[in-house]
Amino acid sequence: MIRRILVANRGEIALRIVRACKDLGIESVVAYSEADRDTLAVRHADRSVCIGPAPSSESYLNVRSILSAAILTRCDALHPGVGFLSESASFAKAVEEAGLIFIGPRPETIELLGNKVQARISAERAGLPVTPGSDRLDDLVSAKKWASRLGYPVILKASAGGGGRGMRIIHKETELESNFLLAKKEALLFFGDDSMYMEKFLQNPRHVEVQLLGDGNGNVLHLGERDCSVQRNHQKLVEETPSPILDNTVREAMTGASATLFQNLAYRGAGTVEFLIEGGAYYFMEVNARLQVEHPISEAVSGVDLVVEQIRIASKKGISRKQNQVVLRGYSLECRINGLGAGRIARFDLPSGPHVRTDTFLAPGMTLSPYYDSLLAKIIVHAPSRQEGIDRMLRALDEVVIEGIPTNVEEQKMIIGSPSFRSGRFGTDLYETLCGKEMRHG
């Protein structure tokens, strides 16, 4: 049995995991950096342990310090949260070798899916259509051959990449050499692996992902899809479920094939299968072998607590329900509230009321650190229909008052309130279309 869990992450996701532990009667220990000692996760955990100074390399990415904290506090298991080490196969293996339960996929599964080329192969075997593209590119010569075969524009991607790192869009051959070398350099810097592959670039697709749970023995549950098309520099800003562009035929095909992929992998834990959609066709992009920041909207429409399910699966209790017991009700929308600079938060009023959820780790008087990502809070609404959900989100955004640091609240209002978003007919260029000109001249 799992009696005590080390939370090896920070921010709102750390508090989210602490709350799930409390619901299950499990003790939580939060591992925190010196910069995070006053955050809500540290305040509400049963115990907390400082694992190092503010820089991530000396704290949240310091495997030795994290494992030492887990062992010294006699934890049975470790939850990696999102980001940082959550998709590191070597970290998952080190956790298990230390005698702890890793609340996530098996190390070999993470390693397989972390290589985007191998993930494409696994997806094809499961019957998923993939974006036309190459295998691993060994050198610039092979890159030029593939670009010629696919036709410009193409996109270079790091085999071990994610979050837009090691990624370059190439519109013509004269751009290829310099971007190929830059992408490899960036990939090596961020992932320790400079291997690349190439895909045909879809100019303005939709980004849709399927949320799944697997018990590690081939039993898989899906909770529908999420549309994550509103992005800035490949970073998600707004997520919604269900996607306004999918009909039931395409939805059933995507979720069914995604479940088959996870069954083939004997996948353990929570994960998503990511797709790009263009012109009515959908293409496999990658698997995120972890919990996602936007998981609350799937929880809202399904009634399934994804973090509790992760812990159940790690405890070998299996998934709490079967597919025919899942009913997806209504519509849910999430907006990410980001800080546009570090500093002390003088006032921090977040919305509430019926069917409004806010996830944060901050309170008035706390400081947003310059060392980590800029996420301040997530606002999630649930409603019977998409139009009602949009109206509810606009009301919620109007209630937000944050003083001391600039935020993207007004941008979110612009996006959510735009005719383009309300119509549901847009692509991944929506942010640039609505906010890009203002940002360039602001």
Give the residue numbers annotated as catalytic, written as ranges: 290
Strands (E), 88-189: 101-102, 154-158, 168-170
How far apart CA 144 and CA 177 sit, in angstroms, is 9
Q: For strands 331-338 and 47-52, give the pairing.
A: unpaired
Q: Is 60 helix (H, G, I), strand (E, B) or coil?
A: coil
Residue 290 backbone phi and psi in degrees, to 5: -170, 180
Question: Can you say whether the dihedral through the CA atoms of 114, 117, 120, 122 is positive or negative?
Answer: negative
Please report, for residues 158, 258, 286, the alpha-carbon distance to residue 130 in angstroms, rounded to integers and kept in the order given.
Answer: 16, 12, 9
Distances in Å between the alpha carbon of 340 and those of 46, 54, 379, 403, 421? 32, 19, 17, 12, 23
How do the residues of the chain divide into helix, strand and coil, expressed in percent and rounded to 5?
Answer: 40, 25, 35
Instruction: Decide if 333 contacts 311 (C-beta within 8 A).
Output: no
Round to whole Å and give the CA distance between 242 and 251.
9
- Gyration radius from the chain CA atoms: 21
Structure tokens at 115: 């290589």
305 close to 20: Cβ distance less than 8 angstroms: yes
User: Of 201, 212, 187, which is closest to residue 309 (Cα–Cα)?
Assistant: 212
Angle at CA of residue 356, ends 83 and 233, nearest 5°:
35
Separation of alpha carbons 59 and 18, rounded Å: 19
Angle (CA) 32 40 340, round 5°: 85
Amino acid identity at 354: P
> Which residue reads 């959609």 in tokens?
277
Q: Tokens 């006053």 belong to which residue? A: 38
Which stretches of 192-304 are DSSP H helices?
248-264, 295-302
Instruction: Identify the CA nearest to 216 among candidates 288, 289, 127.
Output: 289
DSSP letter at 74?
Answer: T
